[in-house]
Structures are given as structure tokens and as C-alpha cells.
Amino acid sequence: MTEEWTEMVELAPQVKAALRELDTELAYTVLSRWPRREDKGNLITVSEITNQQTALSVVDDLAVQVDIWSTERDVVRALAPLVNAAVCGMGLRRDYAGDIEQQSGGLWAFRKTFRFGRRVDKRFMRLID
């Protein structure tokens, strides 16, 4: 009889915690949602984009999207390598890094998107692959 592993691993809270500790003098906020009109200042958002079981019940595919939002392109440029280093430092792999996009309308003129992911062995809570 094989044991079925149904425990779900949540990656976003761990990524948010790591991003709250960036070594920078820039003020920023880390949230789980995209910016709203009432949000102020520089913002980093973390969204879970993949959390699925693989053919092996003990292995899950995990991925998050991290967006940096600011009214200033230079702030996005300054935060981007810090975000990348923090999340890669957790053992995740960067799957995508978009260009800095100029947004139309809203409070945030600039946005940069990253996607990070990895597989996790739920028996040992270790990143694999």
C-alpha cells in the first residue's frame, strides 16, 4: 500500500517574508495583491501562479510571480536585482524576467515582472530538480 501525500505547500508567504528583508534604503511595501488606487509608495506584489501536484504524489510544482511597481523607473531598476537575489537565494529559479513596462493610467507608472519556481519534495520539504 502506498502512502498518499496530500499536504499542500504554500510558497508565497515565504517569498513575501524574504522580500520584506531587502537590504535597501528605499521605502516599499510587500503585498499579496495587485495595487489599488489607495496604495501609496513603492510596492512589491507576490502572487502564486502554480501550485500543482505532479505525477508523483510527493512532488509539487510551485511558482510565484513577483511584480515591482513604482512611479519612478529608477526605483524599479534599483529594487529588481535585490528582489532577484532574495528569491533566488531561497533556492528558487527565475523562469522569467520582463522588461520594465510603462503603465498607462493609475498611480504606478512603471512595473517589472519576475516569475520564480521549483519543484518541492513534500516528504522532506526540499527543493528538487
Spell out the domain ranges in the chain.
Answer: 12-128
Q: What is the CATH number of domain 12-128?
A: 3.30.2000.10
Contact 79, 43 (CB under 8 A): no
pLDDT of residue 55: 87
How far, in Å, CA of 62 to CA of 50, rounded? 5
pTM comes to 0.89
Q: Which residues contact 67 (CB under 8 A, 6 or more apart)?
A: 34, 44, 45, 47, 111, 112, 113, 114
> Which segments in the chain show pLDDT lower than 70?
1-8, 38, 106-108
